[in-house]
Chain A
């Protein structure tokens, strides 16, 4: 049995919503099949008031062994470093987070807010919000760059706005069933099993990406969303086209550009106001190129692809 505690800081509850919709495995499977004991969760916890405080104190003291501490939302430090703008169970949430992170075997940050600050930490960051171990791209965050949980791992970051439900439950199962050592993390402490590939990996529009055929409107079935509509699929690390949303589809499959929500720069990526969903160009060349491709390479590739494009690539192959 692995004890799991889930708390929520500066957040919209989107990751909780996502988690409750998990399918492989589902939130119920965690309890019935994988031996996870959910001590408390903002939407599922039964304890309130003094009882909840007692439970949390017991986790901090070790009286109740805390195997997995899950945090959703930012750590709110304002005003003036007091954390008073996010009080929970009788004290600033940040104080609970500091103590529970030290007590836990594993700490898992769910969603952009908990991983690197997300929307609340976007400048001017009025609540002085931060992620657990990153603030945007900068390592450190609330717990500090050197933080290691009792099991010796840094915070396991599962980003996304929100994170896909199955990314969450699959990592929780791996940890709870003693396979945490198998989880390899990238430089941003994201599990590589999900975040080494790109949103573009498995996108149904790859043929049109290859032949440089552009979709110019949302929902259009023909064309790739990179060239006009600002799709960040080629430079965003996510498995959104490998592990589909609702087991059905993904943003890009349905004609909506990837916003890059699993990357620390989300949501703004230095975009000028009013330019979201518009590919930004500098002297006719996209400002953000597919990861690992430089300007010269991109131009060469595009020229060759255009020249080689078959006739069907220009036509609408999606007939009813």
Chain B
């Protein structure tokens, strides 16, 4: 599947009600490491599992007074519209979000 097709597939899954683990957000170094570990061990290449574990949403999540959107996240490539967190490595949209957001 091409990048655009995967992006559309993610959009459909989320719009179709895929229940993702939006909270708790990965607020501490330990919780980040724990989630990364789970992504590696439990999700692997499985797209849906990655979306669920990372807590994907179609809109930014406001957390601790900060709007967490892909477009401001460290792992977001603006021009490619891509998440380069190695454990996700997925096409995304600027206004999506996940709980591994970091700036």
Asked if A and B bind, the verdict is yes
Q: Which residues of A contact B (CB under 8 A)?
A: 212, 214, 216, 227-228, 272, 275, 278, 280-286, 298-299, 302-303, 306-307, 309, 311, 314
Q: Are A282 and B75 in contact (CB under 8 A)?
A: no
Which partner residue on chain B sits nearest A226 by CB separation?
B74
Q: Are A284 and B79 in contact (CB under 8 A)?
A: no
Q: How far is the CA of A212 from the CA of B103 in the complex (A)?
A: 9
Residues of B within 8 A of A212 (CB): 74
Given A272-B29, A299-B66 in contact, is the A309-B102 Cβ separation under 8 Å? no
Given A311-B79, A314-B77 in contact, is the A303-B27 Cβ separation under 8 Å? no
Q: Are B27 and A214 in contact (CB under 8 A)?
A: no
Q: Given A228-B74, A285-B103, A306-B78, 10 other A-B contacts at CB below 8 A?
A: A216-B84, A216-B86, A278-B33, A281-B32, A283-B25, A284-B25, A284-B27, A285-B66, A299-B103, A309-B79
CB distance from B70 to the nearest CB of A (A): 10
Range of interface residues on B (Cβ < 8 Å): 20 to 34
Q: How far is the CA of A36 from the CA of B56 in the complex (A)?
A: 67
Q: Are B102 and A285 in contact (CB under 8 A)?
A: yes
Which partner residue on chain A sits nearest B86 by CB separation?
A216
Residues of A within 8 A of B25 (CB): 283-284
Given A302-B72, A309-B78 in contact, is the A284-B29 Cβ separation under 8 Å? no
Which partner residue on chain B sits nearest A281 by CB separation?
B102
In residues 14-52 of chain B, which contact A (Cβ within 8 Å)? 25-30, 32-33
Given A214-B75, A302-B72 in contact, is the A283-B27 Cβ separation under 8 Å? yes
Given A227-B74, A309-B78, A314-B80 in contact, is the A283-B63 Cβ separation under 8 Å? yes
Q: Are A280 and B74 in contact (CB under 8 A)?
A: no
Given A285-B103, A302-B103 in contact, is the A314-B79 Cβ separation under 8 Å? yes
| Chain B contact residues, majority secondary structure | loop
Q: Are A284 and B101 in contact (CB under 8 A)?
A: yes
In the complex, B71 has a CB within 8 A of chain A: yes
Q: How far is the CA of A228 from the CA of B30 in the complex (A)?
A: 15
Q: Are B79 and A278 in contact (CB under 8 A)?
A: no
Q: How far is the CA of A227 from the CA of B32 in the complex (A)?
A: 14
Q: How far is the CA of A281 from the CA of B27 in the complex (A)?
A: 7
| Chain A contact residues, majority secondary structure | mixed
A-B contact pairs, 25 of them (CB 8 A): A216-B84, A227-B74, A228-B74, A272-B29, A272-B30, A278-B29, A278-B33, A281-B29, A281-B32, A282-B28, A283-B27, A283-B64, A284-B27, A284-B63, A284-B66, A284-B101, A298-B103, A299-B66, A299-B103, A303-B103, A306-B72, A309-B78, A309-B79, A314-B78, A314-B80
Residues of A within 8 A of B71 (CB): 306-307
Residues of A within 8 A of B26 (CB): 284
Residues of A within 8 A of B72 (CB): 299, 302-303, 306
Question: Shortest 7 CB-CB distances between A and B: which pairs?
Answer: A284-B102, A311-B79, A283-B64, A314-B77, A283-B27, A303-B72, A302-B103
Residues of A within 8 A of B63 (CB): 283-284
Q: How far is the CA of A303 from the CA of B71 in the complex (A)?
A: 8
Residues of B within 8 A of A311 (CB): 79
Q: Are A283 and B66 in contact (CB under 8 A)?
A: yes
Residues of B within 8 A of A298 (CB): 103
Given A280-B29, A285-B103, A298-B103 in contact, is the A307-B66 Cβ separation under 8 Å? no
CB distance from A309 to the nearest CB of B (A): 5
In residues 83-103 of chain B, which contact A (Cβ within 8 Å)? 84, 86, 101-103
Residues of B within 8 A of A285 (CB): 66, 102-103
Q: How far is the CA of A59 from the CA of B90 in the complex (A)?
A: 69
Residues of A within 8 A of B75 (CB): 214
CB distance from B76 to the nearest CB of A (A): 7
Q: How far is the CA of A67 from the CA of B34 in the complex (A)?
A: 57
Q: How far is the CA of A272 from the CA of B86 in the complex (A)?
A: 23
Contact among B68, B74, B79 for A214, CB-based, below 8 A: B74
